[in-house]
Amino acid sequence: MASGEHRRRLLVLKAFAGFRSCSAQPDAWHQYSAALPEYDLAPDAFMIAPGFDEWGEGAPRLARDPERWRTDVAAMVASNTRWQLVLTFNEWPEGTSVESAHEWASPSGYGSYLDVLHEALP
């Protein structure tokens, strides 16, 4: 960092019921849950999840669907929010990863979920 430059620190908090009505507001809000495919907290953040299959549970809370994922990525990009977040790159115990895997292998080697991100992100 050059002399005279200042780092800007941001306070970004996890959203909760009634978060917008709090008298003290952080710089932005986010959501960290993959139970839904999309969380739109505009203008702060837009989060997407490819799926949610908690290890040890009987069934996925959010089933994987590559076509829905494509639609969700497009919605995230179109949101123009400051923070655009993918839940998650490689959190395997919760089944939210987009990292390449045999189950969604693709000719690119990145896997179908990363392929969509490569195609859709500016």
pLDDT digit string, tens, across residues 9-66: 899 999 999 999 999 999 999 998 888 999 999 999 999 999 999 988 999 999 999 9
The closest of 78, 53, 47 to 65, measured between CA atoms, is 53
Q: Is the full-model pTM beyond 0.75?
A: yes
Q: Report the chain's C-alpha Rg in angstroms.
A: 17
pLDDT at 7 over 90: no
Q: CA 40 to CA 97: how far, in whole Å?
A: 20
Question: Which of the 8 DSSP states describes residue 52?
Answer: B
